[in-house]
Amino acid sequence: MNELKIYLRINSVFSMVTGISLAHFSGSLNNFLNLTGNGYLLDAIGLNLIIFSCFVWFFSSKRTTNNILVNLIILLDVAWVLGSLLIVIFQLFNLSVNGYLLIATIAVLIGFLAYKQWNGFKKTKNT
């Protein structure tokens, strides 16, 4: 398995675990993040992450690499990171300190995965 597919799989597994956690533990996470009045926000984000995870896993299992889909996955990861940075830098939603730290930590991991996917993509294009 090449480097791109490995990091797509890691991205998929991490997205699935995060999505299930957000959906299943949304009540506890709302308290941890200090979110009020957003009863289904974490459930909706979790469901979207589960769908994204299935898409990435399905795509990573294909023999050929679709340049448009690789770029889309990387773009979605970068958008996640940028959105997370906006939330943390401007302290949007009046979250707890732990909430901002959690968001920043996940953003760093997603940024790393996007970077590794981009490098793997460049390597597969050059071969």
Average pLDDT over residues 102-114: 98
pLDDT at residue 75 tops 90:
yes
Distance CA 98, CA 51 (A): 27
> What would the pLDDT profile of 38-53 be if each residue is shown by its tens digit?
779 999 999 999 999 9
Alpha helix ranges (H) inside 25-66: 26-33, 41-60
The neighbour count for residue 70, using CB atoms within 10 Å, is 20
pLDDT at residue 106 tops 90:
yes
61 backbone dihedrals φ, ψ, rounded to 5°: -85, -10
> What would the pLDDT profile of 8-20 be if each residue is shown by its tens digit?
999 999 999 999 9
pTM score above 0.85: yes
pLDDT at residue 1 tops 70:
no
- As given in the structure block, the two tokens for residue 123 are 């390597």
pLDDT at residue 35 tops 70:
yes
